[in-house]
Structure formats: C-alpha cells, structure tokens
Amino acid sequence: MKNLFVTFVCLLMAAAAFAQQPGKPLVQFTGVVHNVDTLDAVIPYATITNITQNKQVAAANYKGYFSFVAHEEDSLRFTCIGFIPKTIVIPKGVNKSYTLQVAMKAAVTNLPTVRVFPWATSDEFRKDFLALKVADDDLEIARKNLNKGSLAEMAKTLPRDANEIQSTFAQQEHLNILNSHSLMPNPLLNPIAWGSLIKEISEGDKSRSGSGN
C-alpha cells in the first residue's frame, strides 16, 4: 500500500513538471506564394507541409494566398508541380503573427537529345532518299506558271478581269481612230490577188489531171 502511494505521488509530480514546461507559441502564418522572377506571377494551389508538426498539410488558394496556424520555429516545406521545393522556418518571437512572401523558382529539366529514324537500316534510308521527289523552288514554280502553254490553257478557262477588258477596248478604240481616215482595201479589186487565185486553180487542175494518168 505504501509503495502504491509513493508511485501515485511520483506520477503527480511528473505531470506537474510536464505542465510547467513552456510550449512553442502559436503563430498565424499568412502569405502569398509567387514566382521568383516576378511578384505578379502567383503560384496557385501550392502545397505547404509542416515538417515539425507531424507533416500537417495546408494549401494555398488559386491566388497563391495561404493562412493557417503554426508554431514558432516550425519548418514548412512548399511544393508545387513545375517548381523547386522550398523550406522555410518560422522565426522565434514573431508576436503571434507572421507574414511572408514565398518565392519559388521554376524547375527546368534539360532532356537529352532524341533522334528518331523511321528507317530500320541505312539501305532503306538510301532507297527512300533516292526515290524522294524534291519540291519545286519559287523560281521553277514561276517558270512553269509563265510558260506559254500554261498561259494559253489558263486563258481558255479563266475569265478576263476588268483591267484586261479595259486595256483591250482601249487598244481597239486606238486602232479605229488611226484607220478612221483611211480606205480599207477590197481584195476583190486587187488584180494581183486575182492572178494568184487563177494560178492556184490552174496548178490544182494540173495536179489532179496528172494523178489521173
């Protein structure tokens, strides 16, 4: 019975001593998470893990703002996809509130160069390369478009624009003005034309009679 009483007294003394030990003061931790390159570029939905207090987790909102209760000298780890994690420690003696702008740096990952070849062997590549049809350059395309045959075919199907019609009409009017005071020759009154016609007819008769013999 005496031993039980002594044990009870020791437990009370230990509990009293534990209660008298001062704990870490609570702190309202508030701030904004942003990109280190500019203060205007906030980082939304960053995860904040309290490493000291059993990895308690908090999160910033879509504007990068956060506010939660922590303790002095707590270690807080800020993480977000695409950014390098950052750990900060709440200083001692901040008088119940602590405000901080947390700047995080973007994580840049340099990937090695990858070359993709669709050919299994060099012989297949050589075969496809030799059979490759090289596209025409600008000079060759212009040469084909300005070819007489191409222009003649296009003239059959493409309608004339207003500029072309006006130019043709102006040329015709110019020719009419130049020939307005001149007499147009009549081929029926030209003796040379009649002589040529008679000669062609006679030569035609001779050729027909010769073929009949």
Q: Which residue has the tokens 């009370």?
A: 12
| pLDDT for the residue 85 | 95
pLDDT band at 184 (very low <50, low <70, confident <90, very high): low
> Cα–chain-centroid distance for residue 76?
38
Q: Is the pLDDT of residue 26 over 80?
A: yes
| 43 neighbors 16 (Cβ within 8 angstroms) | no
Number of domains within the chain: 2
Q: Residue 124's pLDDT is what?
A: 87
Q: Is residue 46 part of a domain?
A: yes
* Residues 133-152: tens digit of each pLDDT: 777 888 888 888 888 888 88
Q: If you average pLDDT over every residue of the chain, what do you get?
A: 81
Assess if residue 151 is contained within a domain. yes
Q: What is the DSSP letter of 113?
A: P
pLDDT reported for residue 21: 37
Quick one: 78 and 124 in the same domain? no
Beta bridge partners of 106: 83
By percentage, how much of the chain surpasses pLDDT 90? 32
Q: Which of 80, 75, 41 is nearest to 60 (CA)?
A: 80
Write down the pLDDT at residue 212: 52
The Cα 100–Cα 78 span in angstroms is 12
Q: Hey, what amino acid is at 59?
A: A
Same domain, 134 and 80: no
Note down the domain range covering 148. Answer: 117-180
Residue among 77, 49, 47, 44 at smallest CA distance from 59: 47
